[in-house]
């Protein structure tokens, strides 16, 4: 199997009873067949011949052909939908009506030769796209079947669709002569959002949480009913038609021989739980595995499952548990450790504490990076270390009592899914193989970019339940609190949005999406967020010096020295330049002002508050974003206000206002008098005024602003050095260069001394 980059396999052990079929989308398309037929598992299939789902007028669809599989190869395999196929040496597309939201997409392939078809099955190399997602790239039916040692292949995905239709396109590979694409069956089944999209995942060894967003697709790798038999699609719960592997899970166990025995739950009724009932069939939770009462075996081995995965990717693991021993019914009766890929996931796992009782399901989510320089397909291991002896009466561990418990009464099923994270690889038209080059260094960078999820309880603990003494800032959005996380070792700033705030859910989401992917010395870092019980909370790195505004207006702080002001402006300008030119898409901040420039302990300036930010493609064909005017009064670009066309030059205008404030705040004019070198003042004034020109095209870029401010700083340092040495400052030229290597030039052609009447803005 050719891997899809940036995988997150999902392993979980689950229980479910089923859900209503109301508004349930269920499409099963038998490709290359005319009419309807029922599979051996009672699944109802509809042929695609003359179907509206395969319009012949679309593209090259009419170049495809239909064919029957060679009959003798179907021995032992349900002929539906594998008896017929649609094949083509050209691209072809199905248009499937769907319910907007997450949907299962299953693709069925059969590796055999086909009647009256010229090309061999070994030439079937192709890619498959579902909407914006590339599901398969350069996929070989023949090679995959050979690796799996079976002819029938099912590829299952979870894909989120925004529109009421989904295009599924098959494209033959151009890298092989006589290559073609084929498909035997397509299923599309709607699913609830919370089935496979957890809100927060613990990234092992990274101490961060992140969420899987709706831009994520997932691919199922393994779905195993531990200790039980196969569960066919018709026996699945929730009308999802999922298949569960049965006894084959012994292949994944590392304990030798038949030492690990199946455990069957009696007729005890499983209890309802906080997790949805549609997670898995009830039969999954009525079987498990046990190492029995063999003391030596228990001492020598532990329960470990190993799943072959591809190296160089990150995996998401979901573990579902159910305590099915009636003797274990209280917290502390069974405490064990969980290790995933030889990393500690839980030191003191206690299913009773998690779920509230026995016979009640619960699950936990984790993510882990898998890197192995020597193996292309290492094993992702899941190990349970369960103590040998349990003392039930006193609810404590006492080895001397010699009471042995069943080691695996909590483990009922395993499912392995691969997730594709949209930001990294799910780009329209992007080939999967282009994204497959993924190094350990890149993975470390990636994992640091994920946004940590905090529970509301963690936020309350960090702020002492939002006590007023912790408030360090107040705005229209709500309050900002100083808090401490990670056991009190890390200071953070916690912004709590008021429900009635004009900064609503959209701005909250935008801030998370923007900052979680940006890293720059002059941008404030978003550590994480909380979205629970209607609370919208953002957690930032703590800025000890607060906002630039706090040092300019109504402050008891001493006035900032001029050179320090220049350095702050340069830092903020560098942050904005990074947004405009240092990322894949141009990011327009749209709310540049002194209150959104924060200062850390070392006076490093950091641009903050990205709730109003907008993305613009970096190509020259799109020079602006048409959008409703938003921003702060006094900082809004007049051209943006008139035309409602937002460009990066709108940020430049706002930054020009900031430069004027830094120079002319009411409390510092007298303090700065005589402390600014004339040449520096001249250059600084040129920059500020050019930033606020009416015509945005005439304004400098942020790169030019950075260069100009650095030039002004050099001029100031040169003048101070000349005075320190007892001489007169060097005479400057018309541009204020004063012998300093400044390369900045006012784009408008004007200089500060030439402007006699500055219009009020």
Residue 175 pLDDT: 83
Q: Residues 212, 145: one domain?
A: no
Residue 266 pLDDT: 57
Mean pLDDT of the chain: 76
Q: Residues 534, 553: one domain?
A: no
pLDDT at residue 242 is higher than 50: yes
Residue 214 pLDDT: 66
Among residues 405, 400, 376, 401, which one has the least CA distance to residue 388?
Answer: 405
Name the least confident of 431-440, 495-504, 537-546. Answer: 431-440
pLDDT at residue 238 is higher than 50: yes
pLDDT at residue 123 is higher than 70: yes
Per-residue pLDDT tens for 17-65?
Answer: 223 344 678 999 999 999 999 988 788 999 999 999 999 887 788 889 9
pLDDT at residue 241 is higher than 50: yes
- Segment 518-529 mean pLDDT: 88
User: Which of 163, 191, 219 is at the close of a domain?
Assistant: 191
CATH of the domain at 345: 2.60.120
Q: Residues 398, 518: one domain?
A: no
Q: Residues 158, 227: one domain?
A: no
User: Which of 191, 215, 245 is at the close of a domain?
Assistant: 191
Per-residue pLDDT tens for 691-701?
Answer: 999 999 999 99
Q: Residues 148, 231: one domain?
A: no
> Are the C-beta atoms of 185 and 45 separated by less than 8 Å?
yes
Peptide bond connecting 261 to the previous residue in cis, omega within 30 degrees of 0: no
Q: Give the list of residues 6+ apart from residue 527 with CB closer than 8 angstroms, or none.
A: 451, 452, 485, 492, 539, 540, 541
Could you tell me which residue, 322 or 677, shows the higher pLDDT?
677
Among residues 604, 575, 615, which one has the least CA distance to residue 592?
Answer: 575
Name the least confident of 110-124, 453-467, 680-694. Answer: 453-467
Residue 504 pLDDT: 67
Residue 130 β-bridge partners: 133, 168
pLDDT at residue 320 is higher than 50: yes
Residue 277: count of CB within 10 angstroms of its CB: 17
Residue 646 pLDDT: 87
CA distance 688 to 503: 29
Q: Residues 587, 636: one domain?
A: yes
Q: What percent of the chain has pLDDT over 90?
A: 32
Tokens of 274: 């906080």
Could you tell me which residue, 258 or 466, shows the higher pLDDT?
466
Q: Residues 465, 496: one domain?
A: yes
Tokens of 335: 């405490």
Q: Residues 173, 207: one domain?
A: no
Angle (CA) 605 606 607, round 5°: 125
pLDDT at residue 72 is higher than 70: no
Q: Confirm whether 46 is domain-assigned.
A: yes
Q: Confirm whether 392 is domain-assigned.
A: yes
Q: Residues 690, 614: one domain?
A: yes
For residue 300, name the pLDDT band (cuts at 50, 70, 90): low
pLDDT at residue 257 is higher than 80: no
Residue 641 pLDDT: 83
Q: Is 754 designated active site?
A: no
pLDDT at residue 563 is higher than 90: yes
Q: Residues 394, 261: one domain?
A: yes
Longest Cα–Cα distance of the chain, Å, equals 101
State whether residue 200 is helix, strand or coil: coil
For residue 620, name the pLDDT band (cuts at 50, 70, 90): very low
Phi, psi angle pair for 735, to nearest 5°: -90, 5
Q: Residues 121, 254: one domain?
A: no
Q: Confirm whether 5 is domain-assigned.
A: no
Residue 233 pLDDT: 84
Could you tell me which residue, 457 or 20, shows the higher pLDDT?
457
Which burial class, exposed, middle or buried, applies to 372 when counting CB atoms under 10 A from its CB (0-12, 13-18, 19+)? middle
> Are the C-beta atoms of 751 and 734 separated by less than 8 Å?
yes
N- to C-terminal Cα distance for the chain?
A: 63
Name the least confident of 51-65, 131-145, 536-550. Answer: 51-65
| CA-to-CA dists, residue 77 to 34, 217, 294, 682, angstroms | 20, 29, 40, 83
> Are the C-beta atoms of 104 and 158 separated by less than 8 Å?
yes
- Segment 514-527 mean pLDDT: 84
Could you tell me which residue, 94 or 256, shows the higher pLDDT?
94
Q: Give the list of residues 6+ apart from residue 208 with CB closer than 8 angstroms, or none.
A: 447, 448, 450, 451, 452, 528
- Segment 694-718 mean pLDDT: 95
pLDDT at residue 679 is higher than 90: yes
CA distance 568 to 548: 8
Phi, psi angle pair for 108, to nearest 5°: -110, 130
Residue 741 pLDDT: 53
User: Which of 479, 506, 541 is at the close of a domain?
Assistant: 541
> Are the C-beta atoms of 563 and 570 separated by less than 8 Å?
no
For residue 744, name the pLDDT band (cuts at 50, 70, 90): low
- Segment 477-491 mean pLDDT: 85
Among residues 609, 610, 615, which one has the least CA distance to residue 627?
Answer: 615
Segment of 224-238, 350-364, 667-681 carrying the highest mean pLDDT: 667-681
pLDDT at residue 275 is higher than 90: no
Name the least confident of 99-108, 503-512, 563-572. Answer: 503-512
CATH of the domain at 458: 3.30.200.20
Q: Confirm whether 393 is domain-assigned.
A: yes
The parent domain of residue 511 ranges over 452-541
pLDDT at residue 673 is higher than 70: yes
Residue 27 pLDDT: 94
Residue 594 pLDDT: 94
Q: Residues 465, 381: one domain?
A: no
Segment of 357-366, 508-517, 658-667, 745-754 carrying the highest mean pLDDT: 658-667
- Segment 228-237 mean pLDDT: 82
For residue 682, name the pLDDT band (cuts at 50, 70, 90): very high
Residue 221 pLDDT: 79
Tokens of 394: 């006193």
For residue 357, name the pLDDT band (cuts at 50, 70, 90): confident
CATH of the domain at 671: 1.10.510.10
- Segment 259-267 mean pLDDT: 55
State whether residue 249 is helix, strand or coil: helix
pLDDT at residue 132 is higher than 70: yes
Tokens of 97: 């009506």
Could you tell me which residue, 72 or 560, shows the higher pLDDT?
560
pLDDT at residue 595 is higher than 60: yes
Residue 278 pLDDT: 78
Segment of 258-262, 355-359, 599-603 carrying the highest mean pLDDT: 599-603
Q: Confirm whether 562 is domain-assigned.
A: yes
CA distance 132 to 426: 7
Per-residue pLDDT tens for 405-420?
Answer: 333 445 555 565 544 3
Q: Confirm whether 440 is domain-assigned.
A: no
Q: Confirm whether 38 is domain-assigned.
A: yes
State whether residue 111 is helix, strand or coil: coil
Could you tell me which residue, 212 or 485, shows the higher pLDDT?
485
Residue 73 pLDDT: 64
Q: Give the list of residues 6+ apart from residue 437 with CB closer than 8 angstroms, or none.
A: none
Chain centroid offset of residue 242 CA: 25
Name the least confident of 52-66, 549-563, 570-584, 737-751. Answer: 737-751
Name the least confident of 289-298, 467-476, 608-617, 709-718. Answer: 289-298
Per-residue pLDDT tens for 140-174?
Answer: 999 999 988 889 999 999 898 989 999 999 999 98
Residue 397 pLDDT: 27
CATH of the domain at 71: 2.60.120.430
For residue 8, name the pLDDT band (cuts at 50, 70, 90): very low
Q: Are strands 133-140 and 36-38 parallel, antiparallel or unpaired?
A: unpaired
Among residues 250, 103, 123, which one has the least CA distance to residue 176?
Answer: 123
Residue 49 pLDDT: 94
Segment of 231-245, 295-309, 418-432, 633-647 carrying the highest mean pLDDT: 633-647
pLDDT at residue 437 is higher than 50: no
Could you tell me which residue, 574 or 630, shows the higher pLDDT?
574
Q: Which residues are annotated as a binding site for ATP?
A: 495
CA distance 583 to 431: 21
Per-residue pLDDT tens for 187-226?
Answer: 999 988 878 877 667 777 655 555 566 677 888 877 877 7
For residue 353, name the pLDDT band (cuts at 50, 70, 90): confident
Could you tell me which residue, 626 or 369, shows the higher pLDDT?
369
Q: Confirm whether 435 is domain-assigned.
A: no
- Per the structure, the count of domains in the chain is 4
Catalytic site residue from 591, 637, 651, 665: 591
Residue 380 pLDDT: 81
Which ranges constitute the DSSP H helices of 694-748? 702-724
With residue 683 as reference, give the H or E element that holds it.
Answer: helix 678-691
Residue 508 pLDDT: 81
């Amino acid at each position: 199997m050719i891997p899809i980059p940036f995988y997150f396999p999902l392993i979980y052990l689950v229980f479910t009873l089923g859900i209503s079929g109301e508004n349930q989308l269920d499409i099963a398309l038998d490709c290359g067949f005319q009419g309807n037929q029922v599979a051996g598992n009672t699944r109802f299939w509809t042929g695609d011949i003359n179907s509206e789902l395969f319009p012949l007028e679309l593209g090259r669809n009419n170049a495809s052909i239909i064919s029957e599989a060679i009959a003798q190869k179907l021995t032992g395999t349900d002929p539906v939908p594998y008896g017929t196929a649609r094949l083509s040496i050209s691209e072809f597309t199905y248009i499937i009506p769907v319910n907007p939201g997450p949907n299962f997409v299953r693709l069925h392939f059969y590796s055999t030769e086909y009647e009256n078809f010229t090309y061999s099955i070994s030439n079937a190399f192709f890619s498959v796209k579902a909407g914006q997602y590339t599901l398969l790239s350069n996929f070989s039916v023949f090679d995959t079947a050979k690796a799996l040692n079976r002819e029938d292949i099912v590829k299952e995905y979870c894909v989120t669709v925004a529109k009421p239709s989904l295009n599924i396109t098959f494209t033959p590979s151009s890298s092989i002569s006589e290559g073609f694409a084929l498909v035997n069956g397509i299923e599309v089944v709607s699913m609830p959002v919370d089935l496979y999209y957890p809100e927060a995942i613990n990234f092992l060894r990274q101490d961060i949480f992140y969420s899987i967003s709706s831009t994520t697709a997932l691919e199922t790798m393994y779905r195993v009913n531990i200790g039980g038999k196969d569960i066919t699609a018709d026996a699945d719960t929730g009308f999802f038609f999922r298949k569960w592997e049965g006894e084959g899970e012994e292949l994944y166990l590392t304990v030798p021989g038949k030492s690990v025995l199946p455990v069957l739950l009696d007729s005890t009724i499983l209890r309802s739980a906080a997790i949805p009932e549609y997670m898995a069939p009830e039969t999954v939770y009525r079987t498990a595995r046990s190492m029995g009462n063999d003391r030596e075996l228990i001492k020598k081995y532990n329960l470990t499952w190993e799943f072959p995965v591809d190296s160089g990717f990150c995996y998401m693991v979901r573990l579902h548990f159910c305590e099915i021993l009636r003797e274990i019914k209280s917290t502390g009766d069974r405490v064990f450790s969980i290790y995933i890929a030889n990393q500690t996931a839980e030191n003191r796992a206690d299913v009773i504490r998690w779920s509230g009782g026995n016979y009640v399901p619960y699950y936990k989510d984790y993510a882990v990076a898998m890197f192995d320089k020597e193996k292309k397909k290492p094993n992702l291991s899941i190990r349970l270390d369960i103590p040998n002896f349990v003392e039930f009466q006193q609810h404590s561990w006492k080895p001397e009592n010699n009471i042995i418990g069943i080691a695996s009464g909590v483990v009922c099923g395993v499912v392995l899914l691969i997730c594709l994270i949209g930001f990294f690889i799910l780009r329209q038209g992007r080939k999967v193989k282009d994204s497959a080059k993924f190094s350990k260094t890149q993975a470390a960078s990636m994992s640091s970019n994920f946004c940590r999820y905090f529970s509301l309880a963690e936020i309350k603990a960090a702020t002492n339940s939002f006590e007023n003494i912790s408030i360090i800032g107040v705005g229209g959005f709500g309050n900002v609190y100083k808090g401490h996380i990670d056991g009190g070792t890390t200071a953070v700033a916690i912004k709590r949005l008021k429900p009635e705030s004009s900064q609503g859910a959209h701005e909250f989401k935008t801030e998370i999406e923007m900052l979680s992917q940006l890293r720059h010395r002059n941008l404030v870092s978003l550590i994480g967020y909380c979205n629970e019980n209607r609370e919208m909370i953002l957690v930032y790195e703590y800025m000890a010096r607060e906002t630039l505004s706090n040092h300019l207006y109504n402050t008891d702080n001493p006035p900032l020295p001029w050179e320090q002001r220049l350095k702050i402006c340069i830092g903020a300008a560098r942050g904005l330049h990074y947004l405009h030119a240092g990322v894949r898409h141009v990011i327009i901040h749209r709310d540049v002002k002194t209150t959104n420039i924060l200062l850390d302990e070392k006076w490093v300036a950091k641009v903050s508050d990205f709730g109003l930010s907008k993305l613009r493609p970096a190509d020259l064909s799109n020079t602006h974003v048409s959008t409703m005017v938003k921003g702060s009064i006094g900082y809004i670009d007049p051209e943006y206000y008139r035309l409602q066309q937002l460009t990066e030059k709108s940020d430049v205008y706002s930054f020009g206002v900031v430069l004027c404030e830094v120079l002319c705040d009411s409390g510092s004019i007298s303090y700065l008098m005589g402390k600014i070198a004339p040449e520096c003042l001249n250059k600084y004034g040129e920059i500020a005024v050019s930033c606020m020109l009416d015509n945005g095209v005439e304004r400098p870029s942020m790169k030019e602003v950075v260069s100009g401010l650095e030039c002004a700083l050099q001029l100031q340092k040169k003048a101070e050095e000349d005075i320190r040495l007892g001489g007169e400052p060097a005479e400057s030229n018309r541009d204020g260069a004063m012998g300093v290597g400044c390369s900045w030039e006012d784009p408008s052609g004007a200089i500060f001394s030439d402007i006699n009447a500055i219009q009020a803005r």
